[in-house]
Amino acid sequence: MIGLDQLYLLVGLMFGTFALGHIFHRTDAARWRSAGFWGCFAAVFLVGSQLSDLAVGMLVLVMAGLAAMGLKPGASPATTSPEQREASATLLRNRLFIPALAIPAVTLGVSLAMKDGTIAGHALIDPKQVTLAGLAAGALIGLALAMLLLKPPVGAPASEGRRLADAVGWAIVLPQMLAALGGVFALAGVGEVVARLATENMPMSLPLIAVVVYTVGMALFTIIMGNAFAAFPVMTAGIGLPIIVGQFGGDPVIMSAVGMLSGFCGTLLTPMAANYNIVPAAILELPDRNAVIKVQAPTALLLLLFNTALMALMVYPK
């Protein structure tokens, strides 16, 4: 049965390939630094479930130390010239979008067709991981379509993947790290503190106020922590479950879905979400490091208002 271990294995092999790519670039004096960083990250995915919490924590500390020393991209992989790429794009035209569009199409198809993870009565995928398995399948199918369509060298996906990972750098691990931080905050009882502060300072006897506090709180905590997955357990444990669901009888599914969307509004507004907002500005060499955030801010605020109204209308039974 395909579960998280198999999906983590796939991701770990990818990052392990990036580490090997650095090792084999012998002309790069700093190659061991980047190879060690990506190698530790690969090890977390490949054997993390067999390691103790202390061992995984040590790997994370090694990664933090290597990142603090400064990661340097390796030698740029050989690629086509701008003229060759323009000629290829002119020839293929809209067919270039086929591999990219295959990823969401396959993910959606697997999610709808295999909700319980079975095919013809045979268990194939862990029911809890159907969407992730569909995403992995979509990525592999998209890669195969790109290889058939573009006919690049066999090593091109690994080389280009490493180049992109090097461009993003240490910020690529932020989603996992911040999501783990959210779990730590939840276990530490931060949600209870949030609930106490909210009930002491807001008129939480009104269902609408509870919704506003939850959605706006999701956005604000995401701005602070940089990741909606880190904010979700805190706000849900503090406001969502005890007040919206427990006190007013709200639908937990609607609350969770719209709450996460509200958190994503905060992602658009914070430099803490460096991999989304700061790294693109650096890659594009924009003079203002917050340019991406400034462009996204109006959309984020309008979406937050819409999500709040949507939850207020939908979460409580009629």
Phi, psi of 279 (to 5 degrees): -60, -45
At 157, the pLDDT band (50, 70, 90 cuts) reads confident
Q: Which pLDDT tens digit goes with each residue over 242-259?
A: 899 998 999 999 999 999
Phi, psi of 125 (to 5 degrees): -130, 140
* pTM of full prediction above 0.75: no
Average pLDDT over residues 142-169: 85
247 and 190 together in one domain = yes
At 80, the pLDDT band (50, 70, 90 cuts) reads low
End-to-end CA distance of the chain: 41
Q: Which residues pair with 2 in a beta bridge?
A: 125
pLDDT score at 160: 83
162 domain-assigned: no
Q: Which pLDDT tens digit goes with each residue over 181-225?
A: 777 777 777 767 777 777 777 777 789 999 999 999 999 988 988
At 233, the pLDDT band (50, 70, 90 cuts) reads confident
SS3 track for the chain: CECHHHHHHHHHHHHHHHHHHHHCCCCCCCHHHHHHHHHHHHHHHHHHHHCCHHHHHHHHHHHHHHHHHCCCCCCCCCCCCHHHHHHHHHHHHHHHHHHHHHHHHHHHHHHHHCCCCEECCEECECHHHHHHHHHHHHHHHHHHHHHHHHCCCCCHHHHHHHHHHHHHHHHHHHHHHHHHHHHHHHHCCHHHHHHHHHHHHCCCCCHHHHHHHHHHHHHHHHHHHCCHHHHHHHHHHHHHHHHHHHHCCCCHHHHHHHHHHHHHHHHCCCCCCHHHHCHHHHHCCCCCCCHHHHHHHHHHHHHHHHHHHHHHHHCCCC
183 and 292 together in one domain = yes
Q: Evaluate if residue 301 carries a pLDDT over 80.
A: yes
Q: Evaluate if residue 112 carries a pLDDT over 90.
A: no
The number of domains in the chain is 3
Lowest mean pLDDT among 76-85, 125-134, 212-221, 232-241: 76-85
- Quote the mean pLDDT of the chain: 84
pLDDT score at 79: 64
221 and 295 together in one domain = yes
113 and 11 together in one domain = no
- What whole-number percentage of the chain has pLDDT above 70? 94
Average pLDDT over residues 144-160: 86
166 domain-assigned: no
196 and 142 together in one domain = no
- Containing structural domain, residue 310: 172-314
26 and 86 together in one domain = no
Higher pLDDT, 304 or 92: 304
32 and 147 together in one domain = no
92 and 212 together in one domain = no
- At which of 25, 47, 69 does a domain end? 69
128 and 191 together in one domain = no
Q: Which pLDDT tens digit goes with each residue over 266-299?
A: 999 998 877 778 777 777 778 888 888 999 999 9
95 and 41 together in one domain = no
222 and 297 together in one domain = yes
At 152, the pLDDT band (50, 70, 90 cuts) reads confident
